[in-house]
Structure 1
Amino acid sequence: MPPFGKRRTLKPPPVVIGSLDGFANGRLHGWVCDFLDQGESAYIEVHWRGTLLMRLRANLARHDVNAIGVAGDHGYRFRLPILPPLARGDLTLMAEIRGTFHPIALGALEDPIFAFFSASPEAAPLERCERLWGANQVRETVSSQTYHDVIYLPFTAGILLDHDPRWGLYTGDGHLIPEAAYRRGEALHLVGQSERIDIDGGAIGDAPFDTMIYGGPLLAHYGHLLLTTLARCWAIDGAMPVLFHALPAVQDHEAGHVLELFRYAGLENRSVSFDRPTRIKRVVVPEPALYEQHSIWTHYATPMAAIGRAIAPVAAPVPKKVYLSKSRLHSGVTGVEGEAFVDLKMRQAGFAVVHPESLGLAEQVNLFRKAELIVGTAGSAFHTLALVPHTAARRVVLTLSDFVNSNFLLLDRACGGEAAYVSITDDLILTESENFSTTYAIRNANHLADRIIAAAAA
């Protein structure tokens, strides 16, 4: 019995507020809390046919919720596991607040959730991608030329090289040296640069070397680094310092994959770039062995394979079936929303899910050396083929449109192996993201995964 004059005050039961806001490709999100105790977090439980599947705190920041007068962090966001087709009542959500449980109605999201987990419809298999973006030509020869009194104009800081008309190697009277030009595409358009430029002789310094060999533009993006930066390696033998266009300067570059590839290519400690206009007495300029989206030299694979062989084998075991996923890629050229659920289904089908951006160069090369099947959306990770030509790994490349970038087919021409290009464009919706140039959302990742698995088995 409480002391005389004091009353025991019972805390009133929770007043639950919140919202189940959305569902897409297996992921649910919303917010929930006790209106009377906004300083505490609730827990969310997910049950399937009475079995607890997951339990998590609703403690994610939701500034939109704070803006309507609710204090604290009460958001939740989670991905459901793989489930069989659902019936009414199979899936339940509960909020636990102060030891009491409160159901969260699925409401308008119930039908989309059921549709997502429904049995895959009898759909046509993924179609082979036949249309081509770019040209797919082969060249029997490449050559190099020696130029005297060469003017080197560096990249302009703060301007993408595509939009920079004042970089490149030029003759003394301002003409772009043909073999040094960065051209790509079916019409071999210049990437930045100018066919002719006015040279201000008074602002030009002199190089510390009498003779150099030109290596081209140093492009830090992994795919372009393989296709373009290393395309002149066939002519580089260590006899001369190698001249690159680079920003930051090649001798100051810190990107790990750039440093690794330069080391294996024998370019480490003998490559240089200049940060101001520079005159060089003599430059050997090799033609690139590959022009992006245009053509490839028949023997492109020979020097690239030599670089690949310099990469020591990795002792770790390699799975037979690999799925290259972009689900953890936070920025870049192309993003795919909803791929994380595809990852779940691929694992269920016996694939090891690999995120290429998390691997070192040797680990990526190891996959192409030892795996039997590599599947994934089209991206620069597949350009690792350049370092492992004639790999035994069968490749199934998922194109995000109804065409395939001809760079893939150019590598196939020179590097061999077996590859199939299939389009998943019917399963995608074009959307927007600040982190990617182009972003697609998967309509139903559960059903798409089944189609991918079927295509890989075909």
Structure 2
Amino acid sequence: MHSFDRIPAPHVDTLHGAVAVPPAAGHNLPGGVFDAQGDIVPNSRTMMGGPRWSDIPERPSPETLEQLAGRHLYGGVGRVHFGHFFIESISRLWALDQLDGPVDSVLFSPMHGRKPKMTFGKTLGELIRVFCGDVPVTPIAVPTHVEEMLVPSQGVGHLNWSTGTPVFRRFVRSRLEAHYAPLGPEKLYVSRTRLANKDSLVDQEAQIEELMAAAGYTVFHPERYTIRQQIEHLMAARAVVGADGSAFHLAAHVLQPGTRVGLIKRRHRTAVFNAIAEQLKAFGEIELSTLHPLKPQEPGEPRARLNLFRLERALRQKGFI
């Protein structure tokens, strides 16, 4: 297996008669690809948060397999969580720009219990189509014997892999910039106040919204916009402030050179915060300021508490307000 500490150099395994197995039930998403000899292909396992690898699935019986003719690229698991989609689901698509010939499709497996239309629907489906271009997507919902399968290494991942490989970074930026253009205000505050999951909210964010609006920022709730509008806004902005989270995985791919970013630490998960910060710096020529306004963690507290005065002072010192 690859090292958790360092993302692997880009490479592609070419397999004949391999079997793609969609994720089964389980926290570690057991799924992947078995080669013609029945061995799991290391490239097909996904580096997940933790860090941990996706589990090796049970090897299916030959008589249960679907058959798929042609040459196909293995895309891995199709995640519906926005942040995990950017870290896991598109991580192998860089190979589309590096292949020595065409492929018939990209193979994606929905997570266990998810229907393909949930994975490849309106928002994430548009991004899949942008990244894949003219290459169609084939959902793999049952174990499938594939005539020829190309299995790329991951080009990006969680934690130490968040900076991605240079090949992956060029791929995602070139595809997105060819499809979208800047359109929106110059100053954005990326808010989490309208998220449905209350555990994901930021302490005192309503007051932060008031502070940023008074400083001329547009308060932006990404989940209320189409993916096109989200990208257009992020590409147009020259100053972006917000708490760490999924929106900044997308931002890393499309922020333009020279954009000033104020990343607010909202939870006591330093490794995750640092990974997002490193991704932002690696993917674009931005000016990043990390803001650390949290109070010391108390035992059993439901949400990290924020020192609003400390945050306002840091925003002023860094020139955001």
Identify the residue that residue 140 of structure 2 maps to in structure 1: 274
Counterpart pick for 1:220 among 74, 80, 86: 80
**Cα distance change, pair 220–395 in 1 and its aligned pair in 2 (3 A):** same
Q: How does 1:6-405 map to 2 (within 5 A)?
A: 137=6, 141-156=9-24, 159-160=25-26, 162-165=27-30, 167-184=31-48, 189-191=52-54, 193-194=55-56, 197-207=58-68, 209-236=69-96, 239-247=103-111, 248-250=114-116, 253=119, 255-267=121-133, 270-295=136-161, 296-313=164-181, 315=183, 318-331=184-197, 334-388=200-254, 390-400=256-266, 401=268, 403=270, 404-405=273-274
Give the TM-score taking structure 2 as reference length: 0.83
Provide the residue aligned with 1:122 in structure 2: none
- 1:314–1:366 Cα contact (<8 Å) kept: yes
Distance 2:287 2:214 in 1: 25
State the secondary structure of the residue aligned to 2:84.
helix
**Partner SS state of residue 374, structure 1:** strand
Report the equivalent of 1:453. 315
Rounded Cα–Cα distance in structure 1 between residues aligned with 2:118 and 2:216: 43
Are the counterparts in 1 of residues 180 and 228 from structure 2 also a CA contact under 8 Å?
yes
- In structure 2, the gaps of 5 or more residues are none
Once the two structures are TM-superposed, the CA of residue 328 in structure 1 deviates from its matched residue by: 1.2
Q: Cα gap change, 1:348/1:256 in structure 2, threshold over 3 Å: closer, same or farther?
A: same
Q: CA deviation at 1:254?
A: 5.4
Corresponding residue number in structure 2 for 1:6: none
**1:200 to partner: Cα distance:** 2.2
Partner SS, residue 299 of structure 1:
helix
CA distance in 2, matches of 1:254, 1:341: 36
- Do structure 1's residue 440 and structure 2's residue 304 form an aligned pair? yes
Bigger share in helix? 2
Hey, what's the Cα distance between the residues in 2 that align with 1:219 and 1:325? 23
Aligned partners of 1:300 and 1:414 also within 8 Å: no
Aligned residues with identical type, % of pairs: 20
Contact 2:294 2:304 in 1 (8 A): no
- For structure 1, the residue ranges without an aligned partner over 5 or more in a row are 1-133, 433-438
Q: Report the CA distance between 1:236 and its aligned residue.
A: 1.7
Q: TM-score, normalised by structure 1?
A: 0.60
Cα distance change on mapping 1:389 and 1:174 into 2, 3 Å: farther
Superposed displacement of residue 263, structure 1? 2.3
On the 8 A contact 1:168/1:180 being kept in 2, the answer is: yes
1:220–1:255 CA contact under 8 A, matched in 2: no
Partner secondary structure for residue 290 of structure 1: coil
How far did residue 136 of structure 1 move? 7.2
Once the two structures are TM-superposed, the CA of residue 321 in structure 1 deviates from its matched residue by 2.2
Three-state SS of the structure 2 residue aligned to 1:322 is strand
| Contact 2:255/2:286 (<8 A) preserved | yes
- Give, as a single letter, the amino acid of the residue that structure 2 aligns with 1:204: L
* Partner AA of 1:409 in structure 2: E
SS in 1 for 2:316: helix
User: What CA RMSD, in Å, does the superposition of the two structures yield over aligned residues?
Assistant: 3.0
Please give the secondary structure, in 2, of the residue aligned with 1:304: helix
Considering only CA atoms, is the larger Rg found in Structure 1 or Structure 2? Answer: 1
Aligned partner of 1:334: which letter?
S
Q: Check 1:233–1:332 CA distance in 2 against 1; reply closer, same or farther (3 A cut).
A: farther
Cα shift readout 1:191-237 (whole Å, capped 9, x = no counterpart): 3x21x744422322222x23211112111222222222122222125
Indicate the structure with greater strand content. Answer: 1
Count of residue correspondences: 306
Contact 1:397–1:420 (8 Å) recurs in 2: yes
CA displacement at 1:184 relative to structure 2? 3.7
Distance 2:199 2:247 in 1: 13
Q: Is the 8 Å Cα contact of residues 218 and 225 (structure 1) preserved in structure 2? A: yes
Q: Given the alignment of the two structures, is residue 417 of structure 1 paired with residue 286 of structure 2, yes or no?
A: yes
Tell me how far 1:243 sits from its aligned partner: 0.6
Give secondary structure in 2 for the equivalent of 1:426. Answer: coil
**How far off its partner does 1:289 sit?**
1.1
